[in-house]
Amino acid sequence: MTDITKFKSVAIKIDAYKLAKPMANEKYMSMGAFIRYLIDKEYDTHPDKPSLTNGEDTKTTNKKKSSKKRKRRAKSKKWKRS
């Protein structure tokens, strides 16, 4: 099952898909990778982009997830031992 914390679905019109698919194939990319490429390219040219250091925007959410993961691992280890 797809991890919903890492991926989101998007819908595009068929005519846009038919234009984008050959461009993605030309660059040897999947459609998801091609959309990411286009977003990154546009983001780099955006004058009002926030100035974040690597990972800065996810530090608070990662702490919450990691503690949940630790609790989940501890529970699974208890179940395995018995």
Asked whether residue 34 is assigned to any structural domain, the reply reads yes
> What pLDDT score does 82 carry?
47
> What pLDDT score does 43 carry?
87
> What pLDDT score does 23 carry?
95
Q: Report helix, strand and coil shares of the chain as percent, to nearest 5.
A: 65, 0, 35
16: DSSP letter: H
- Kindly give the confidence (pLDDT) of every residue in the chain, 82 residues in length, as a single tens digit, with 9 standing for 90 and above: 888 888 888 899 999 999 999 999 999 999 999 999 999 998 888 877 766 666 666 555 445 555 666 666 665 555 555 4
Q: Which domain holds residue 41?
A: 10-47
Asked whether residue 30 is assigned to any structural domain, the reply reads yes
Indicate yes or no: pTM above 0.75: no
How far is Cα 21 from Cα 35, in angstroms, rounded to an integer? 10
Asked whether residue 35 is assigned to any structural domain, the reply reads yes
Domain count, the chain: 1
Asked whether residue 15 is assigned to any structural domain, the reply reads yes
